[in-house]
Amino acid sequence: MENLEGVKWYNNGVYLPERPSFTLDPRFHGGAYYVQEASSMLIAAAVGQLIDSAAGPLRALDLCAAPGGKSTLLADVLPEGSFLLCNEVIRQRYQVLQYNLAKWGSAHTHLSQHDSADFGGLEGFFDLVLLDAPCSGEGMFRKDPGAIGEWSPEQVAHNAARQRRIIAAAVPLLRPGGILLYSTCTYNDAENSDNVAWMCKELDMEFVPLDFPADWQIAARPMGYQCYPHRVRGEGLFLAGLRRSGGQPHQGKARGYKKLAPLPKTQQAILNAWLANPDQYTYWTTPTARSGPCSPLSSPTANW
């Protein structure tokens, strides 16, 4: 990728002079690179300021992860050995996320398909939660003029309320001192700064200022930062970092999983043959009425 202009806030990002036919490029299908909007890469700079990479492996959750751009970004910038769970509730979008993460090939990424409310048993578990919230999409108007016709004040209000529901489920998942990265691709305060202020007032969160160089042209908002297309080479993105002030660290096994049983050693041996470091994993199964307590086979999970 020589002689290409780099993205100022992410060392591995570059601007292409024209849009090629990615579907005809075997390197794209092989996961050699990911096509992502440049403003979204600001997540990498925020992680670099808010996370101490010397602290060792982290537990991270990308709560609304599809199609996977920010997940691949997190997979690359988190400390080595970190655990990254990438979640998407909508089935069709989950399938796209699954495909993109499989291509990216990071061994420490894991997937789930759940509503945010389903994670209640993991209170205090994560060091970092990224919430790229569903929004009214005002930051995409230049890129997708058709989206303008779908916008309305009622839609903004609806999205702001939906975002608060997801936020209320996401914040308890953080350990004390854990970091929430909140982002949208819209401009209005109702979905952006107002939600951040609400978190600080109602959910025991603390807004954390970020330091972006002046030549990046990132605009400071009352409680966050905004990319504007006329200032940066990218589309509209709002980003804020918050730290959890209260809460309790995770206590033991997640609630709702009491029926998990260890995988039989004969089946463990089959899985171990496919892993480079099998000692780093433990295996569990859930009982089923048809096959007994050792079926179906569960996916391996990191042993914390």
DSSP 8-class letter at 214: G
Tell me the per-residue pLDDT of 94-106, one tens digit each, with 9 for 90 and over.
999 999 999 999 9
Query: Which CATH number applies to 6-244?
Result: 3.40.50.150
Tokens linked to 204: 């025991």
pLDDT of residue 272 exceeding 80, the answer is yes
Would residue 135 show up in a list of annotated catalytic residues for this protein? no
Q: What is the DSSP string of 112-179?
A: E---GGGGGGGTT-EEEEEEE-----GGGTTT-GGGGGG--HHHHHHHHHHHHHHHHHHGGGEEEEEE
* 287-297 confidence digits (pLDDT tens): 653 333 333 33
Q: Where are the domains of the chain?
A: 6-244, 261-302
Closest CA to 184 of 142, 117, 237, 252: 237
3-state DSSP call for residue 53?
helix
**Per-residue confidence (pLDDT) for residue 296, from 0 to 100:** 32
What mean pLDDT, rounded, does the chain reach? 89
Share of the chain above pLDDT 90, in %: 72
Q: How confident is the model at residue 259 (pLDDT cuts 50, 70, 90)?
A: low
Residue 140: partners with Cβ closer than 8 Å, 6 or more residues away: 147, 185, 235, 236
pLDDT at 141 over 90: yes
144's tokens: 């997708």
At 288 the pLDDT is: 53
Structure token digits, residue 116: 């945010």
Catalytic pick from 185, 200, 227, 294? 185
Q: For Cα atoms 38, 44, 48, give the angle at the middle one, nearest 5 degrees.
A: 150
In the numeric block, the tokens 């990728």 are attached to: 1
178, two tokens: 């854990």
Distances (CA, A) of 155 to 66, 134, 144, 187, 204: 21, 11, 17, 13, 28
Distance CA 257, CA 284 (A): 10
Alpha helices, DSSP H, located in the chain: 26-29, 42-50, 69-77, 91-104, 153-170, 193-202, 265-272
Q: What is the pTM of this model?
A: 0.84
Q: What is the per-residue pLDDT for 303? A: 30
- What pLDDT is attached to residue 280? 76
- Give the model's pLDDT for residue 1: 55
pLDDT tens digits for range 107-131: 899 999 999 999 999 999 999 999 9
Cα gap 39→227, rounded to integer Å: 7
Whether residue 284 is predicted with pLDDT greater than 90 in this model: the reply is: no
The string of pLDDT tens digits covering residues 169-204 is 999 999 999 999 999 999 999 999 999 999 999 999
254: which DSSP letter? Answer: P
Please list, in sequence order, all residues whose beta carbon lies within 8 angstroms of the beta carbon of residue 56, skipping any fewer than 6 positions away: 79, 81
**pLDDT tens-digit series, residues 211-233:** 999 999 999 999 999 999 999 99
Three-state SS at 75 = helix
Structure token digits, residue 286: 């859930």
Q: Are the CB atoms for 127 and 178 separated by under 8 Å?
A: yes
List all residues 6 or more positions away from 165 whose beta carbon is below 8 Å from its beta carbon.
116
Return the DSSP state at 47.
H
Pairwise pLDDT comparison (271 vs 158), residue with the higher score: 158
Can you tell me the distance from the alpha carbon of 171 to that of 131, in angstroms, rounded to the nearest whole number? 10
Predicted confidence at residue 299, as pLDDT, reads: 37
